[in-house]
């Protein structure tokens, strides 16, 4: 890929995250703290514990507005957060000042696909929903390995994809069931179905060949990595802990149009269905949790 093409794509990616991602017509699980707690709360607290156990110096990849970094700083850790969006870094810095954490939480703008990382400077590197946006994932993980001290930890909680059959089912249910988005608006999305269903390999090929129809309309690097995350980590680190979770129903929970009193009971029922799917197929989760070691 030519430099000017990459610069254009990374500029679009930064603009997408700078503009904010909340869409009232197509709400996501992280838009609702109650839904996030039902589906991801337990695993997210596991992430915080694993990082806290690792040591005092932490690097967060793709820190966004700084929520995870600040939560770790409140636990006494010294955290450096990196994100592509200047607006999100400004929000994180403001949050650190307001919460009296500016001495323990520092933030900087950077492109994780390319930027160097300080060598042997951290006991832990953490990535929460960041790696599936990284084009040069293998190269980043090489730099992460160098940034960790010997025996340091990499802690990852990320999205790896639902697979084509589950995506087709999710798209059909989204189209047919009453959601926050109107049926007219959903019909208007039919040309984006190919981008929703495409694989990581085809998405990368589309990026290289400049075929925007197979890319996310706002974020060209959305799902550019996914199923390959575990293999890329395993080739460089010793995986000590691995689990998958939330294979399917989490996707529909925030989108359905329901009476307010039904929202969380239905979500808990969906979560139970997701848990049952994992019991039947332990590796079927659309999300993964990994603790890996720089041995």
pTM: 0.94
Q: At what angle do helices 67-74 and 33-54 cross, to 10 degrees?
A: 50
Average pLDDT (35-47) is 98
pLDDT at position 82 over 90: yes
DSSP strand pairing (105-109 vs 122-128): unpaired
Output b/e per residue, 199-230; b: 16+ Cβ within 10 A.
Answer: bbeebbebbeeeeeebbbeebbbbbbbbebbb
- pLDDT tens figures, 133-168: 999 999 999 999 999 999 999 999 999 999 899 999
Domain spanning 3-293, CATH class? alpha beta
| Mean pLDDT for the chain overall | 94
DSSP character at residue 235: T
Tell which wins on pLDDT, 271 or 1: 271
Q: Across the strands, what pairs with 106?
A: 80
- pLDDT tens figures, 181-237: 999 999 999 988 988 999 999 999 988 888 777 888 788 999 999 999 999 999 999
Q: Taking the mean position of all CA atoms in its chain, how far away is CA 145? A: 20
Task: In whole angstroms, give the CA distance from residue 51 to residue 80.
Answer: 13
DSSP character at residue 237: S
User: What is the per-residue pLDDT for 293?
Assistant: 98
- pLDDT tens figures, 216-228: 878 899 999 999 9
Q: At what angle do helices 33-54 and 263-280 cross, to 10 degrees?
A: 50
SS3 for 104-152 is: CEEEEECCCCCCCCCCCCEEEEEEECCHHHCCCHHHHHHHHHHHEEEEE
User: What is the per-residue pLDDT for 21?
Assistant: 61
Average pLDDT (275-284) is 92
> Domain locations in the chain?
3-293
- pLDDT tens figures, 246-267: 999 999 999 999 998 999 999 9
């Amino acid at each position: 890929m030519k430099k000017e093409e990459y610069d254009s794509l990374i500029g679009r990616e930064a603009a997408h995250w700078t503009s904010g991602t909340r869409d009232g017509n197509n709400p996501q699980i992280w838009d609702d703290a109650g839904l996030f707690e039902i589906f991801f709360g337990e695993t997210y607290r596991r992430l915080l514990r694993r990082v806290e156990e690792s040591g005092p110096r932490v690097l967060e990849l793709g820190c966004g507005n700084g929520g995870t970094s600040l939560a770790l700083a409140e636990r006494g850790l010294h955290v450096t957060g990196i994100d592509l969006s200047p607006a999100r870094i400004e929000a994180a810095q403001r949050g650190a000042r307001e919460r009296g954490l500016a001495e323990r939480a520092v933030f900087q703008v950077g492109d994780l696909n390319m930027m160097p990382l300080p060598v042997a400077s951290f006991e832990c590197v953490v990535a929460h929903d960041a790696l599936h946006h990284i084009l040069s994932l293998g190269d980043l993980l090489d730099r992460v390995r160098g940034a960790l001290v010997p025996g340091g930890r990499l802690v990852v909680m990320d999205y790896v994809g639902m697979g084509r059959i589950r995506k087709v089912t999710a798209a059909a249910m989204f189209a047919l069931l009453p959601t926050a988005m109107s049926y007219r608006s959903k019909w208007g999305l039919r040309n984006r179905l190919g981008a929703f269903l495409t694989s990581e390999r085809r998405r990368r090929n589309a990026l290289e060949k400049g075929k925007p129809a197979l890319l996310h309309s706002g974020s060209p690097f959305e799902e550019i990595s996914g199923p390959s995350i575990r293999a890329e980590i395993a080739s460089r680190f010793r995986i000590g802990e691995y689990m998958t979770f939330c294979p399917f129903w989490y996707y529909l929970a925030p989108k359905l149009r329901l009476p307010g009193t039904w929202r969380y009971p239905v979500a808990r029922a969906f979560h139970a269905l997701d848990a049952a799917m994992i019991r039947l197929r332990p590796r079927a989760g659309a999300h993964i949790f990994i603790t890996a070691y720089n041995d």
